[in-house]
Structure 1
Amino acid sequence: MEQLVRLVPDYPEPGILFRDITPLLADADAFADVIAAIAAAVEGPVDLVAGMEARGFLFAAPVAVALGAGVLPVRKAGKLPGPTASQSYALEYGTATIEVHPDTIPAGARVLVLDDVLATGGTAAATVELLERCGAVVVGLTFLVELEALRGRDLLGGRPIDVLVTVP
């Protein structure tokens, strides 16, 4: 799988080494294997799979189907219609705000948070905080790739984290 994640230097800003998952997504067998591996690692029941914008969506939907769960899109500010709950946070090259529809999260819903890359942990930590404020129980986080040197786990308070590939 690692060979299907292309490295793009200086994107979206100088000094950032971007992980492009497009080749992985284009390989039907590899993509299916990744979805199966993610779903197999989940322990216990899950009510919702929260996919973080935008690449997390691509994994959250098929994993949710495999788990018999619903999908919860965690969107950038201004992308969801109607009432939303939001959380702002810092990331490695700026700041951002995420939103969800709180009425789609039943109190006590068991939620798996899913994204493609764990870097500094800012987006994931903000997502966990937002979901818990909305009444969810975050049962774990799953990432395709972890950039270990950026220490994103440190922001996630010892929560269960599954990663398919760790990059030093």
Structure 2
Amino acid sequence: MSSAASGRTNGVSRPVRGEHCEPSCATTLRRAARARLRGPTRPAVLLLIAASMLLGALEQIRDRARLMAVLVAFGTRRRTLAGSVLWQTVLPVGLGLLVAALIGTTLGTTLLGLLGRPVFHDWNTLLAMAGIGAAVSVGVTLLTLPTLWRAARPRGCGTSERVGSV
């Protein structure tokens, strides 16, 4: 068999179309994916996303302070208001992660199939990103709770004062 038919060029072995990745190749791919997850820019990007989510949630609470005070005056539990803030942060993040995982996995599988390369899905990385997204959503909710409690005071019903203003 010639070296071109076996997929070898200059002593480097490459999988030929239809062949599967060797265990050493799969291990290398996993290590590369984990290294990308721990890259220096990833935490900075996640912090920017979390800060943006926090500012958006605080602005929503500030804009709806009077409405929340009226809800508390009518007997709505603060726990229910906290749950609504949690859903306002979890739902967009969860849907975004789901759509990104589905489209990314499908597109990656299709492109690798077209190129004749072995398909490898690193489910651990996908689950790690989902866990990070959930942690950021819960963290944003916890950081907005003091502002929510101030906004939900019943005495805020009668005035048009803004929460957080001096």
When normalised by structure 1's length, the TM-score is 0.22
Give the number of the structure whose residues are more often helix, by fraction. Answer: 2
Which is higher, the Rg of structure 1 or of structure 2?
A: 2
Higher relative contact order (CA 8 A, sep 6+): 2
